[in-house]
Structure 1
Amino acid sequence: MVLSHQDGIALFRSSAPYINAHRGTTFVLMFGGEALEHDNFPHIIHDIALLNSLGIRLVLVHGARPQIDERIALRQILPRFSHDKRITDAATLACVKDAAGSARAHIEALLTTGLPNSPMHGAQIRVCSGNLVVAKPVGVRDGVDFDHTGEVRRIDVHGINDHLNDGSIVLLSPMGYSTTGEVFNLSHEDVATQAAIALKADKLIAFSSHEGIFNQSGKLLRTIERHQLEQLYADNQIDAEPTVLHALISSVAAGIPRAHCISYEVDGALLQELFTRDGCGSLVLEHHYEQLRQATIDDVGGILALIKPLEESGALVTRSRERLEQEIEHFFVIVRDGMIIACAALYLFSEEHSGEIACVATHPEYRGKNRGERLLDAIKASALELGLQNLFVLTTLTAHWFLEQGFVQADIDSLPTSKKELYNFQRNSKVFRLGLC
C-alpha cells in the first residue's frame, strides 16, 4: 500500500502517543528459525532497529529448529523425540551448536547493516549476547534420557540489564550453559518466556506463521483474556502455533502485562501492532479485575444511577427508564464488584453502514484508567463484525477525548439522514467521525 503525503503525515502524528508510551520499556521479541528464513525477515530487522532508536529496550530470542533439522539430515543422524522434546545426544548437540551459531551470526550481521539509502543507515546498533542463560538438564523422564536437552534454570537479569542500560540490543540463542560447563539445547520459547518473566518485561511479542490467534470459525481474536484463551485451547477451539500459545499464556500468567502474537510474513506487522490503535495481530491480557460485557435488562438501574449526574449537568441527553429498557441491547458496560462504573452505547444506521456512539459515561471515582478506551475498543470490534464502515458521535463536552481517539470533526450534513432530521440545533452538539476501514 502506497500512502499519500498527507496520509503519511497523519500516520506519523497518530503514532506519537505510542512512541511516548513505549520509550524506556522492555520488550522481549521471540521468533523461530522459520522466521529467519523468510523473505520478510530483513524488514523485521529494520523495524527492530527503529524500535531501538526510539528508546525501547529490546531482548531478541531466536530459534533454530529448521536449521537444526537440516544439519541432522545432512549428517544422516536419526532424530529422536519424546514428550514433544528433542533428545539431544552428542552428535545432535554438534548440530545445535552449528545451527544456533549460524543463526545468531546472521541476525548480528543484519543488525550491523548500515549501507547508505537503507533503513539501517546510521543506526550503529550494538548487539550483545553470551552466557546470559543458565540451564539445567531435563534429565530422565519415563525412562528416557534426554541427554543434552535442557531447560532454563536462571536468567542473568543483572547482565542483561547492564547491556540494555547501555542502549544495546540483547540477543539470546536457544542454548544454555550449566555451572559445570555443559551446553544444553533449549527451546527458544522457554528462553523467551523465562527472560520476559525474569526481566519483568512490559511485553512479550511472539512472531508466528499465523497473523494472530484465530478461533475455530476463522475469526482473528484481537484481544483475549488469558483464562478465555486457556479454555478455548483446552476445548480445541483455537488455530495457532502451540509453542507460541504456551509462551503467551505462561508469560501473562506470570505477570507480563501484555503478550502479542503477530506474523513474521507480514511486512510492518511489528510497527502496526505497536503504533496503531487497532494493531494487526492478537493481544493476550490477564483477566481484568473489571468485566467489560454487553448490558442486560438487570443493568438498567445501574446505568441510570451512573448517567443521572451527567444528564442533570447537560452533558448527556436525558433517558427514561422505559427508553433505556427498550434500548439496553445497544449498551456495553464495565462492572466492578457488581457496580456499573462505565457504559457506552452503539446505535446502528445500517443503510449508511454507520454507527453512533452514545451515552459514554464513567463514574467520577474511576476516571483516568483507560476505561473509555476499553469501551471504545469493544464498540469498534462490534461495529466491524456488523459490517459498519464508520462511527460518529455527537458531543458538547468531550470533543478533545474523541479527537485523542482518532475521530475527526465533521459537519451536520455528514450524519445519516434519519439522524440529521433529529439534530437538536439548540443543543448545538459537535459531530465527530471515525473510519473503520
Structure 2
Amino acid sequence: MPADSFVRSFRESSPYIHRFRGQTFVINFGGDALADGSIRSLAHDIALLNSLGINVVLVHGAGPQIDAALLAHQLRTERVNGKRITDLAAMQVLREAVGGARLVVEAALSEGQMGSPMAHAGLQVVSGNFIIAQPLGVLEGVDYQYTGQVRRVATEAIQRHLAADEIVLLSPIGVSPTGTLFNIRAEEVAVAAALALHAAKLVFFMDEDGVTDAQGQLIRQITLSELPQLLAREDIQGGLREHLHSAAIACTGNVDRVHLISRHVDGALLRELFTRDGLGTLISRDPFEHLRTATVADIPGILDLIRPLEERGVLVRRSRERLEIEADHFVVMERDGKIIGCAAMYPFPDQGMAEVACLAVDSRYRRQGRGERLLDYCQERAREQALERIFVLSTQTTHWFLERNFRPGALEDLPVPRQHLYNFQRRSQVFFRNL
C-alpha cells in the first residue's frame, strides 16, 4: 500500500477507534471458520479490537463438527423448523464436538509467535456457564428433548471479565439450574448476549456478501422498518433469513447496529467496522444516513466539504464567521458521524421566494441522488413557509439545475436585497423553480 493511502486510511479510521473504545461487540461465527482454518485470521482481527479497548464477546458455532461427530457415531438427528431434535445419545456426542470446537477457538486466540499479528497480544480468553438454559419443550407436538433456549445470560459475570480486559467466549450449549446441558443455536446465544449486555454491535459472519436487492446489488444499509419488506422476498432463505430475523429482534431491543459480513473475505471485520462504507450490510434502528438542520458544531465539517469547491470557483467563498452566523440556514447530510453533503436555504418571505445556495456533496458520494435529496429538503422547508418559488445562482452547474425543472431568469427577477448582493465578477446565472 502506498504511504499516502495508508495514512489516509488510518486517519479515516481514527474516529471509529475513539468511538468504539469501551463499547461491547458480540461477534458470531460458525463452525465453518474452524473447519477451513479462517479462524486464525479472524483471531488476529479480534486481538486488534481487544487492543483498542473494545469489549469482545465471541459466540462460536459448531455445526460441521457436530455433524461429523454424529456421523462417526452412526447417529442421525432430525430437524424441525430449523431446530435439531437432540436426544440423550446425540447430546453426549454434541457435548464433545462443541467442547472440541471451543478449544480450537481458544487455541487460535492464544497464538503469540514472534512475527505473527498476535505477537505479545497476551489475550486472556474465558468461557464458562454464562448461558443459563431451559428446555425448548414440546412445540406443536414435537418434543425437542435436549434442545433448549436461553433463559438468562449471566450478565454481571461477563461484565466482570470484560472489565478485566478478557475476551468472553460463548458456546452453543447452555446449562439449566438443575445442571442439565441443552443444545442451543449459536445465533440465538449471540442475540441473547447482545441484548443482555446492551451491546453496541452484533456481528454475524455468513457465506453471502450481505443482503442484495432484486438486481443482485449489495444493499449497504437497512433500517429496522425496512426489514419486513425484505423478509417478504421469496429469494431470501436459509441462513440469511435467520440473520435478518435475528437483526429484527436485536434492533427492536437495545442493540443499535447489526452487521452481516462475508466470512470469505480476509479482514472483513476490520473493513466493516473501521471504514465509512463498510463491506457488508448494516442494519440499524435509526437511519444510517440522514438530513438535519446544521448547528455551529457542524461548521468544521461543512468547511471541509465546501473548501475544494470554493477553490475551483464552483461555490462562492464563505468565511467561518459567516457560516457560524448562518448555521441555522444550513441543512447537512450526515453519514455515520461525518458531514457528506450540505445546502443552505435563505427565505425572502416578502417576495414569496427563497434562495438555495451552497449545495455540495462529498465527491465520493455523488451521482447517487444525494444532491436531489438536499434540494428536495430545502424545497420542503420553503413550502412550509408558504413560499412560491426557489431560485439558485450558478456558474458551473447550470445544466444540473436545468435538468431538475429550473428555468433561466434575470437579475431583475431576484428579490431586491439579493440583487444588491449580486457579484458581477462571478456573473452567476439565475434559475427559478416554482413550488
Is TM more than 0.5 here?
yes
In structure 2, the CA distance between the partners of 1:359 and 1:376, relative to structure 1 (3 Å rule), is closer
Report the counterpart of residue 255 of structure 1 in structure 2.
254
Q: Is the 8 A contact 1:215 1:237 kept in 2?
A: no
1:93 to partner: Cα distance: 0.5
Q: Which runs of 4+ in 1 moved over 3 A?
A: 237-240, 287-293, 340-344, 379-382, 415-419, 424-427
Report the counterpart of residue 61 of structure 1 in structure 2.
59
1:359 to partner: Cα distance: 5.0
Deviations for 1:180-232, whole angstroms, at most 9, x for unmatched residues? 11000000011000000000000101111111111232111101111212221
Q: Is the 8 A contact 1:45 1:111 kept in 2?
A: yes
In structure 2, the CA distance between the partners of 1:238 and 1:215, relative to structure 1 (3 Å rule), is farther
Matching residue within 185, 188, 210 for 2:186: 188
In structure 2, the CA distance between the partners of 1:358 and 1:160, relative to structure 1 (3 Å rule), is closer
- 2:5 is aligned with what amino acid? D
Q: How does 1:122-137 map to 2 (within 5 A)?
A: 122-137=120-135
Matched residue of 1:256: which SS?
A: coil
Deviations for 1:100-123, whole angstroms, at most 9, x for unmatched residues? 111110010011100001000000
In structure 2, the CA distance between the partners of 1:291 and 1:279, relative to structure 1 (3 Å rule), is closer
1:269 aligns with 2:253: no
1:235 to partner: Cα distance: 3.1
Matching residue within 375, 383, 403 for 2:367: 383
In structure 2, the CA distance between the partners of 1:425 and 1:132, relative to structure 1 (3 Å rule), is farther
In structure 2, the CA distance between the partners of 1:25 and 1:287, relative to structure 1 (3 Å rule), is closer
Q: How does 1:315-354 map to 2 (within 5 A)?
A: 342=331
**Distance in 1, Cα, partners of 2:29 & 2:14:** 27
**Distance in 2, Cα, partners of 1:289 & 1:18:** 15
**Distance in 1, Cα, partners of 2:345 & 2:17:** 27
Report the counterpart of residue 360 of structure 1 in structure 2.
343
**Distance in 1, Cα, partners of 2:232 & 2:34:** 30
In structure 2, the CA distance between the partners of 1:166 and 1:376, relative to structure 1 (3 Å rule), is farther
1:238 to partner: Cα distance: 3.8
Moved more, 162-171 or 27-36: 27-36
- 2:154 is aligned with what amino acid? D
In structure 2, the CA distance between the partners of 1:291 and 1:18, relative to structure 1 (3 Å rule), is closer
Deviations for 1:74-101, whole angstroms, at most 9, x for unmatched residues? 1111221122210000111112111111
**Distance in 2, Cα, partners of 1:178 & 1:160:** 17
Report the counterpart of residue 140 of structure 1 in structure 2.
138
Deviations for 1:378-423, whole angstroms, at most 9, x for unmatched residues? x95663699xxxxxxxxxxxxxxxxxxxxxxxxxxxx99999xxxx
Q: Is the 8 A contact 1:27 1:58 kept in 2?
A: yes
- 2:172 is aligned with what amino acid? P
Q: Is the 8 A contact 1:35 1:207 kept in 2?
A: no
Deviations for 1:354-396, whole angstroms, at most 9, x for unmatched residues? xxx8752499xxxxxxxxxxx969x95663699xxxxxxxxxx
Q: Is the 8 A contact 1:215 1:238 kept in 2?
A: no
In structure 2, the CA distance between the partners of 1:417 and 1:284, relative to structure 1 (3 Å rule), is same
Report the counterpart of residue 148 of structure 2 in structure 1.
150
**Distance in 1, Cα, partners of 2:6 & 2:425:** 38
1:341 to partner: Cα distance: 8.4
Report the counterpart of residue 282 of structure 2 in structure 1.
283
Q: Is the 8 A contact 2:138 2:144 kept in 1?
A: yes
Report the counterpart of residue 203 of structure 2 in structure 1.
205
Aligned residues: 328
Q: Calculate the TM-score normalised by the size of structure 1.
A: 0.68
Structure of greater Rg: 2
1:37 to partner: Cα distance: 2.0
Moved more, 194-203 or 234-243: 234-243
In structure 2, the CA distance between the partners of 1:141 and 1:8, relative to structure 1 (3 Å rule), is same
Q: Is the 8 A contact 1:137 1:148 kept in 2?
A: yes
Matched residue of 2:367: which SS?
A: helix
- 2:135 is aligned with what amino acid? P
Deviations for 1:258-279, whole angstroms, at most 9, x for unmatched residues? 1111111101111111111111
- 1:276 is aligned with what amino acid? T
Moved more, 209-218 or 159-168: 209-218
Matching residue within 5, 8, 15 for 2:6: 8
In structure 2, the CA distance between the partners of 1:425 and 1:161, relative to structure 1 (3 Å rule), is farther
Q: Is the 8 A contact 1:88 1:185 kept in 2?
A: yes
Q: Calculate the TM-score normalised by the size of structure 2.
A: 0.69
1:144 to partner: Cα distance: 1.5
Q: Is the 8 A contact 1:40 1:266 kept in 2?
A: no
In structure 2, the CA distance between the partners of 1:119 and 1:418, relative to structure 1 (3 Å rule), is same
- 1:264 is aligned with what amino acid? R
In structure 2, the CA distance between the partners of 1:238 and 1:181, relative to structure 1 (3 Å rule), is same
**Distance in 1, Cα, partners of 2:146 & 2:266:** 37
**Distance in 1, Cα, partners of 2:345 & 2:53:** 34
Q: Which runs of 5+ in 1 are unaligned?
A: 294-301, 303-314, 317-339, 345-356, 364-374, 387-414, 428-437
- 2:256 is aligned with what amino acid? P
- 1:207 is aligned with what amino acid? F
**Distance in 1, Cα, partners of 2:288 & 2:32:** 37
**Distance in 1, Cα, partners of 2:149 & 2:129:** 14
Deviations for 1:54-82, whole angstroms, at most 9, x for unmatched residues? 00000000111111111111111122112
Matched residue of 1:214: which SS?
A: coil
1:289 to partner: Cα distance: 11
Matched residue of 1:241: which SS?
A: helix
In structure 2, the CA distance between the partners of 1:361 and 1:7, relative to structure 1 (3 Å rule), is same
Q: How does 1:392-411 map to 2 (within 5 A)?
A: none
Q: Is the 8 A contact 2:35 2:64 kept in 1?
A: no
In structure 2, the CA distance between the partners of 1:277 and 1:362, relative to structure 1 (3 Å rule), is farther
1:15 to partner: Cα distance: 1.2
**Distance in 1, Cα, partners of 2:424 & 2:113:** 60
